[in-house]
Amino acid sequence: MRRNKNLERRIADERIILLMKLAEKEAISNPERARRYVTMARRIAMKYRRKMPSEYRRRFCKKCFSFFTTSNCRIRIRRGIKSILCLNCGWRRRIPYRR
Ligand SMILES: [Zn+2]
């Protein structure tokens, strides 16, 4: 049977958004579970070559997959560079920042 690629992509996108929403909801009360949701969403994104939705792309650590809350990361903006430090694994990410 022919695979319906468009349908697969749509389902993948929906699942990614659903998982990231769940992660967001559990990020504070249950960070471990939130991390599992992020990992699952990433796996689906890779398998179907989908992009992480832009509203979630910078909301989790790319190394340990912790979903960022106000207490598990530190954000600094200096000289046009936004740096996000993950307090869970110590990974730092720098993003050029435009005013
Ligand atoms: Zn991390």
Instruction: Supply the pLDDT for residue 24.
Output: 97
Question: For residue 1, how far is its CA from the centre of ligand 1 (angstroms)?
Answer: 42
How much is the pLDDT for 99?
A: 63
Distance from Cα 34 to the centre of ligand 1, integer Å: 13
How far apart are the CA of 10 and the centre of ligand 1, in A? 29
pLDDT less than 70: residues of the chain: 1, 99
The alpha carbon of 26 and the centre of ligand 1 are apart by a number of angstroms equal to 17
Domain that holds residue 17: 5-96
Number of domains in the chain: 1
78 Cα to the center of ligand 1, angstroms: 21
Question: What's the gap in Å between 64 CA and the centre of ligand 1?
Answer: 4
Quote the mean pLDDT of the chain: 94
Q: Rounded to an integer, what distance in angstroms lies between the CA atom of residue 12 and that of residue 75?
A: 31
Provide the pLDDT for residue 3: 78
Q: What is the pLDDT of residue 1?
A: 62
